[in-house]
Every structure is written in C-alpha cells, then in structure tokens.
C-alpha cells in the first residue's frame, strides 16, 4: 500500500523506520517544523525529520496538516499512519486516504485518551498500560481499535523508559495492522470501558507534594521524568529531582524533612521516606544526592515545601 506517515518526536521514529523497511511504500513523511532546542536554543529538526532524511523519504513540515492540504490531496494514498504528530487531522484530509488514518496511541484505550497517556498512567499508579492502534476519527482518540498490546508498568519505570519501550513494540503493532488492512483481514472493535483523559502535563504538574504517601510522590516523580521534570522547593530555590526510591527500611520523617543518614539522603512523606539518588540544584548540573547534601547546613535539617 501507499502510505503517508505523520509524526514528530522520538517515540514516532520506530514506526517510520519499520514502515519504510516493509513492503509498503511511504510516499510522504509529515512532521512539525524545526524548534529551538537546548540552552543555546539551536533550531533543530524533529527526530522524525532526521530519520526520514536518513532513509531518503520525502518530508513535509507543517504545524497543522491544513497548511499543506494542497500538496497532499492530489496524492494517491491508501492509508495514513499517525504517531504523536502533535496536531489534529480534520476533514477533508481525515478521509483523504482510501482507508483513512490509523493512530498508534500509547495506552489501553479508552483509558488515557489525550496527549500524555504514559505519564498519566504512571502518576495514577496503574499496574499496566500498553499501546493501541485505532481508526482515527474527529473525536479525541475514540475510534474503533484494530490491535493492542499490554505491558506491566512496574515500580521503577519512568515515563521516558516506558515510552521508549512502547514506541518500539508499538511500531511492530502498526505494521501488523497495516498488513491486515492491505490483506482485507483487519477487524475493528468498539472501545469499551471507562474513559479517562490524559491532557498535556504542565510545569506545575511536576511539583512533588511531600504530604502525600510515598507511593504517590514516587509515581509522580517517575511520571514526569524526563519531561516536564520533577521538582521541589527549598529556601526559595527550585531543586529538580531526577531519581529517587522509596526507603521502606527507614524510620518515618515529617513530610518534606530532609535527613542525611549513613550516606543516604532521605525526605519525609506521609508514609515511608523517599531516598534521593540524583538531584539538580538551581543553576547546576545533575549530581548524586549525597554530593548535594554535603553542602547543606550542618546545624539543621532542611525542609522541602
């Protein structure tokens, strides 16, 4: 089949690579324009653009598909595949491919419809999540689904590591559905179950609240890592928390109280303390928490707020 593939971040790259290596023809790759990246704000293409160019695939850059409608509609395309493109597909482009569009979504739909499904699944303490390939419709992630996979979340995975795994296994799932659609054997099923929403996370969503139980604090930390990045406040400073673990063997501490003991750096929660492993003080590089703690006042225990 003749395919058009739309995607932007690293999570979409495995699908582009897998489809390009298949028997199907990728006639266009659509991605968002370059954006400023890093401290020096260097204008950089999306990871999908970089991969498409490496593969020699023709690339179209647009913030919204409507911007390139006149370039797309004349093309004869059997199927559109969208993976984390970052914009909606609206008519007439929604029905432009012969078989419409399929979407790889990183959740077990209808749970966690929206922009940040992996992050919300971890923050909510879900035991498992997965990926779903479904028929794109005008509604938010509500089309009938063709295939899905599940995976346990575990107690240590971050949103970044889980999304990386799902993007690779999800790419194989996409190809499975594309092959089935080409063969006429694909079966669409209605979504069933409770609908939950996963809106994009803002910076305030990444602040840790030490009065919550340790499991909830740790889940939020993992769910916002690497983006937007967990943080807390101390002495009018922002401290980023990159890695921590629940210290079930440690004595309880008041919420937010920081204690150095036996080479460990512990912070109190409503239940067990959290052991800080890597932190990043304001204006500095990421460092082991023990190195940061050596610079704390010797005569008092700090309190995170």
pLDDT 10s digit of each residue in the chain, 305 long? 999 999 999 999 999 999 999 999 999 999 999 877 766 777 899 999 999 999 999 999 999 999 999 999 999 999 999 999 988 899 999 999 999 999 999 999 999 999 999 999 999 999 999 999 999 999 999 999 999 999 999 999 999 999 999 999 999 999 999 999 999 999 999 999 999 999 999 999 999 999 999 999 999 999 999 999 999 999 889 999 999 999 999 999 999 999 998 889 999 999 999 999 999 998 899 999 999 998 887 777 889 98
Q: Closest Cα to residue 145, out of 130, 126, 162, 166?
A: 130
25 and 59 belong to one structural domain: yes
pLDDT value of position 42:
76
Report how many domains make up the chain. 2
Q: What is the pLDDT of residues 36-93, one digit of tens each?
A: 776 677 789 999 999 999 999 999 999 999 999 999 999 999 999 999 998 889 999 9
CA–CA dist 195, 69 (Å, integer): 32
The pLDDT assigned to 43 comes to 84
Asked whether residue 107 falls in the same domain as residue 209, the answer is no
Boundary residue ending a domain (128, 154, 183): 183
Q: Domain holding 216: CATH number? A: 3.10.25.10
Which residue's structure tokens are 């909830």?
216
| Same domain (yes/no): 272, 133 | no
Structural domain ending residue among the three candidates 152, 183, 214: 183
Claim to verify: residue 84 and residue 50 sit in the same structural domain: yes
110 is in an annotated binding site: yes
Do 54 and 156 lie in one domain? The reply is yes
Asked whether residue 10 falls in the same domain as residue 142, the answer is yes
152 shares a domain with 60: yes
Residues 166 and 234 in one domain: no
Instruction: Evaluate whether residue 197 is within a structural domain.
Output: no
Residue for token pair 């659609």? 181
The pLDDT of residue 283: 86
Residue 48 lies in a domain: yes
The answer to whether 55 is a known ligand-binding residue is no
**Are both 111 and 216 inside the same structural domain?**
no
192 within a domain of the structure (yes/no)? no
- Residue 235 lies inside a defined structural domain of this protein: yes
Q: Which residues contact 139 (CB under 8 A, 6 or more apart)?
A: none
> Which of 151, 183, 215 finishes a domain?
183
For 241-253, the pLDDT digits (tens) are 999 999 999 999 9
pLDDT at residue 35 in the model: 79
- Which tokens in the block code for residue 237? 């400073």
* Residue 276 dihedral angles phi and psi, to the nearest 5°: -75, 135
Instruction: Quickly list DSSP for 260-282.
Output: EETTEEEE--SSSPEEEEEEEET
CATH number reported for the structural domain that contains residue 58 in this entry = 3.40.50.170
Residue 107 annotated as lining a ligand binding site = yes
Identify whether residues 178 and 261 lie together within a single domain: no
- Give the global pTM: 0.95
Same domain assignment for residues 252 and 140 = no
Task: Tell me if 245 is assigned to some domain.
Answer: yes
Please check whether residue 255 lies inside any domain of the structure: yes
Q: Residue 82: which residues within 8 A CB-CB, separation 6 or more?
A: 5, 6, 7, 89, 101, 102, 103, 104, 136
Domain limits for position 131: 2-183
The tokens for 287 are: 């460092």
Tokens of 214: 């340790």
Say yes or no: 129 and 65 in one domain. yes
pLDDT at 282: 87
20 is a domain residue: yes
Residue 147 lies in a domain: yes
- The Cα 29–Cα 85 span in angstroms is 11
Both tokens assigned to 129: 């999540």
pLDDT number for residue 37: 73
């Amino acid at each position: 089949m003749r395919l058009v593939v739309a995607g932007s971040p690293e999570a979409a790259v495995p699908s582009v690579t897998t489809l390009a290596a298949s028997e199907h023809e990728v006639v266009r790759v659509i991605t968002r324009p370059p954006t400023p990246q890093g401290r020096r704000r260097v204008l950089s293409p999306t990871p999908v653009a970089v991969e498409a160019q490496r593969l020699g695939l023709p690339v179209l850059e647009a913030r919204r598909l409507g911007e390139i409608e006149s370039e797309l509609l004349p093309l004869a395309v059997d199927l559109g595949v969208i993976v984390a493109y970052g914009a909606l597909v609206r008519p007439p482009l929604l029905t432009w491919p012969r078989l419409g569009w399929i979407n790889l979504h990183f959740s077990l739909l209808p749970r966690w419809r929206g922009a940040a499904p992996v992050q919300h699944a971890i923050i909510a303490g879900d035991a498992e999540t997965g990926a779903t390939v479904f028929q794109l419709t005008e509604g938010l992630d509500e089309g009938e689904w063709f295939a899905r996979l599940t995976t346990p979340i575990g107690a240590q995975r971050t949103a970044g590591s889980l999304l990386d795994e799902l993007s690779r296994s999800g790419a194989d799932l996409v190809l499975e559905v594309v092959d089935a659609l080409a063969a006429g054997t694909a079966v669409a099923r209605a979504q069933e179950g409770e609908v939950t929403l996963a809106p994009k996370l803002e910076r305030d969503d990444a602040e840790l609240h030490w009065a919550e139980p340790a499991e909830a604090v740790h889940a939020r930390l993992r769910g916002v890592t690497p983006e937007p990045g967990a943080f807390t406040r101390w002495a009018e400073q922002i401290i980023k928390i990159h890695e921590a673990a629940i210290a079930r063997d440690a004595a309880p501490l008041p919420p937010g109280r920081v204690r150095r003991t036996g080479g460990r750096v512990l912070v109190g929660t409503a239940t067990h303390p959290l052991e800080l492993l890597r932190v990043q003080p304001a204006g500095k590089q990421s460092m082991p928490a023990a190195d940061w703690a050596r610079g704390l006042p010797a005569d008092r225990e700090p309190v995170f707020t």
